């Protein structure tokens, strides 16, 4: 029996990375599955080292299959092809309290079930009229995500706040920058803000108008990096900051937390499910506000509906940055180990298999021998 996990097509770096990691998680399970060779997965970040062996699972794009798991944004899922005679299962994520109802109606008619990376997403889909089975399969990270020793050697006495993500309204990096400038109005060499982003337009003019070019403690990188470079950056951070308005999971937060880094994050959406609220995982209060600025990004039309997400407290973020710089808290090794186990390829792979078998009402076929991991 042939099973195909169709990841994409999607140009989003986060979706593609999720696809690669879910495939790697499934490789730890004794499951007979195949992959359609989509370019965004094959070429992602110039084929990181942990994707070796993935090509053994590829099949021709025209081959008929009995099960298709299609990972796309909610709107893209509505337009995805349906393979006749196959069981089709959606895999998606979203960042608001719910999705437009027209999408929920489409999912109900096109798919047997849907997988999401968080309980937050499950509740959002249910609130949007999705009646097919919804299962949570968290993001797989894998044991390879460990501190970069070369980066550790480069560490200085400067306390580095880090942000990784797109330059858009949802990720809200402007809030991180504004809070940093208020928390540390002078460049005295004691702190730095490391902003790693990818912006198509508007970033340079924003930087110019915010008068930060003279601040040598603000390090701005607007380019696509390999995973080795990303690991280097996260290792340098002393604290990761996410003033997000909504996260379907929160990959950047998870990556820093897995390295034992303190994190500051908005206490809304998925990250609150797997991050704590202790001295090293500080959750920011927020107000719920009407969503603006994502219709064009996700090709959505709302048909008169109002979607909501978070507006994190600026004052609380300023205080949190000052506090972390002064206290320099360190997460407990046990908390880091627990998160590493929770997001391991083996754990997520098993959750993935359990979810699919529950939707289908039967077991997936096993290989005679376990695949290489």
Which of 133 and 52 is assigned the larger pLDDT?
Answer: 133
pLDDT higher than threshold 70 for residue 256: yes
Is a pLDDT exceeding 90 seen at residue 125? Answer: yes
Q: How far, in Å, CA of 324 to CA of 79, rounded?
A: 46
Tens digits of per-residue pLDDT, 12-21? 567 777 888 8
Closest CA to 352 of 83, 142, 69, 77: 69
Are 102 and 303 in contact, with CB atoms under 8 Å apart? yes
Instruction: Give the phi and the psi of residue 3 in degrees, each rounded to 5.
Output: -120, 135
Show Cβ contacts of residue 171 under 8 Å, excluding neighbours closer than 6 positions.
Answer: 165, 242, 244, 245
Q: Is the pLDDT of residue 251 over 60?
A: yes
Q: What are 48-89's pLDDT values in tens digits?
A: 556 666 767 766 666 667 888 888 888 888 888 776 677 889
Q: Per-residue pLDDT tens for 285-326?
A: 999 998 865 544 444 555 667 788 999 999 999 999 999 999
pLDDT higher than 50, residue 127: yes
What does the pLDDT read at residue 46? 56
Decide if pLDDT at 247 tops 90: yes
pLDDT one-digit tens code per residue, 234-245: 999 999 999 999
Q: What is the DSSP string of 22-53?
A: HHHHHHTS-B--EE---HHHHTGGG--GGGTT
Q: What is the mean pLDDT of the chain?
A: 84
Q: Which band of pLDDT confidence, cut at 50, 70 and 90, is reported for residue 192? A: very high
Which single residue is written with the structure tokens 């009646």? 131
pLDDT reported for residue 49: 57
Q: What pLDDT, on the 0 to 100 scale, is given for residue 87?
A: 83
More confident residue, 277 or 165: 165
Rounded mean pLDDT, 124-142: 94
Q: Give SS3 for 234.
A: helix
What pLDDT is attached to residue 45? 55
Domains 3-140+344-360 and 149-341 share a fold: yes
What pLDDT is recorded for position 290?
86
pLDDT tens string 328-358: 998 888 888 899 999 999 999 999 999 999 9
Fold entry, domain 149-341: Rossmann fold (3.40.50)
Close Cβ partners of 304 (under 8 Å, ≥ 6 residues apart) = none
Please report the pLDDT score of residue 150 as a whole number.
Answer: 82
pLDDT of residue 360: 93
Residue 41: band (very low, low, confident or very high) from pLDDT cuts 50, 70, 90: low
Q: What is the pLDDT of residue 86?
A: 79
Q: How far apart are CA 311 and CA 346, in angstroms?
A: 35
Model pLDDT, residue 19: 81
Q: What pLDDT, on a 0 to 100 scale, did the predictor assign at position 299? A: 45
R_g of the chain, CA atoms, integer Å: 21
Helices 333-342 and 251-258: crossing angle, nearest 10°? 130
Instruction: Break the chain into its structural domains and give their ranges.
Output: 3-140+344-360, 149-341
Q: pLDDT value at position 1?
A: 43
192 and 179 Cβ atoms separated by less than 8 Å:
no
Is it the case that residue 373 has pLDDT exceeding 60? no
Rounded Cα–Cα distance for residues 194 and 240 (Å) = 9
Place of tokens 């790697």: 24
Do 177 and 317 contact (CB within 8 A), yes or no? no
pLDDT digits (tens, 9 = 90+) for 89-109: 999 998 988 888 889 999 999
Q: What pLDDT was estimated at residue 296?
A: 45
For 165-236, list the strands marked E by DSSP: 191-197, 218-222
Q: Which CATH class name applies to 3-140+344-360?
A: alpha beta
55 or 136, greater pLDDT:
136
């Amino acid at each position: 029996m042939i099973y195909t996990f169709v990841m994409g097509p999607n140009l989003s770096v986060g979706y593609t990375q999720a696809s690669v990691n879910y495939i790697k998680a499934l490789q730890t399970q004794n499951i007979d599955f195949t992959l359609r060779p989509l370019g965004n997965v094959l070429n992602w970040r110039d084929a990181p080292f942990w994707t070796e062996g993935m090509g053994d699972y590829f099949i021709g794009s025209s081959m008929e299959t009995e099960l298709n798991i299609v990972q796309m944004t909610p709107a893209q899922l509505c337009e995805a092809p349906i393979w006749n005679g196959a069981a089709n299962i959606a895999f998606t994520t979203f960042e608001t309290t719910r999705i437009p109802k027209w999408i929920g109606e489409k999912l109900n008619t096109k798919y047997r079930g849907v997988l999401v990376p968080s309980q937050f997403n499950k509740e959002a889909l249910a609130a949007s009229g999705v009646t097919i089975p919804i299962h949570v399969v968290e993001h797989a990270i894998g044991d390879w995500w460990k501190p970069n020793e070369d980066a550790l050697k480069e560490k200085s006495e400067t306390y580095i706040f880090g942000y990784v993500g797109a330059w858009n309204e949802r990720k809200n990096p402007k809030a991180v920058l504004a809070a940093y400038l208020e928390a540390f109005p002078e460049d005295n060499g004691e702190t730095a803000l490391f902003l790693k982003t990818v912006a198509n337009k508007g970033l340079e003019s924003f930087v110019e108008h915010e008068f930060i070019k003279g601040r040598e403690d603000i390090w701005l990188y607007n380019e696509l990096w390999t995973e080795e470079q990303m690991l280097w950056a996260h290792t340098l951070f002393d604290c990761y900051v996410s003033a997000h308005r909504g996260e379907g999971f929160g990959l950047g937060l998870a990556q820093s937390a897995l390295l034992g880094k303190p994190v500051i994050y908005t206490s809304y959406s998925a990250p609150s499910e797997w991050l704590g609220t202790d001295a090293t995982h500080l959750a920011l209060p927020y107000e719920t506000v009407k969503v603006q600025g994502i219709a064009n990004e996700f090709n959505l039309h709302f048909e008169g509906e109002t979607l909501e997400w978070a507006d994190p407290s600026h004052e609380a973020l300023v205080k949190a940055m000052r506090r972390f710089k002064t206290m320099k808290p360190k997460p407990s090794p046990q908390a880091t180990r627990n998160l590493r186990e929770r997001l391991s390829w083996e754990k997520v792979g098993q959750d993935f298999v359990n979810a699919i078998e529950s939707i289908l009402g039967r077991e997936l076929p096993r290989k005679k021998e376990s695949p290489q991991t």
